[in-house]
Copies of this chain bind each other. A is one copy, B any other.
């Protein structure tokens, strides 16, 4: 099933969140999301480093920034099923069969404290264990489960570099 998944990152502070938001973006890209929308301080350095990965490793992943989360989520909600990842939510194993049927999904991940209205606006509030851990990990497991592992075989068009999976060495081929 051709599913379209995008990611919405609620909150980003330049410098402080650079690495974590970079990880979120690269995970979104590697695991088949179409783009990440970051609500917070515009961080051109983070954006550039993710774009550089896309240039080398292929695909058409995009990082964009917005200021007003409420306005943006209202707009997204018209087309996408909003799945908010939170340690307080319902367990993913109980809801994934329902969510997997949706064709257009926006996964919301927080950094700083997320306002109550996000919980109310979301179609699903979903937890990956009801334990504190990492939005990067929660995003990864959700992307893997909602795409039934098919994302692990994604092909990245226009890549300049490609890895040949190897038992014990690093093998990279230049494609053009």
Task: Please report A residues at the B interface, Cβ cutoff 8 Å.
Answer: 19-20, 23-24, 26-27, 29-31, 53, 57, 87-94, 119-120, 122, 125, 127-134, 136-141, 144-145, 149, 151-154, 156, 162-163, 165-172
Contact = CB atoms under 8 A, between A and B. Distances in A.
A93 to B, nearest CB: 5
24 contacts: A19-B20, A23-B133, A26-B131, A26-B133, A26-B134, A29-B133, A30-B128, A30-B129, A57-B131, A57-B132, A88-B172, A90-B165, A90-B166, A91-B165, A93-B149, A94-B165, A119-B168, A122-B168, A125-B167, A130-B165, A136-B137, A136-B140, A140-B141, A144-B145
Number of copies: 2
B132 A30 contact: yes
8 nearest CB pairs, A to B = A137-B140, A130-B163, A23-B134, A30-B131, A30-B133, A26-B133, A27-B137, A136-B136
Contacts of A171: 88
Nearest to A114: B170
Contacts of A144: 141, 144-145
Contacts of A139: 137
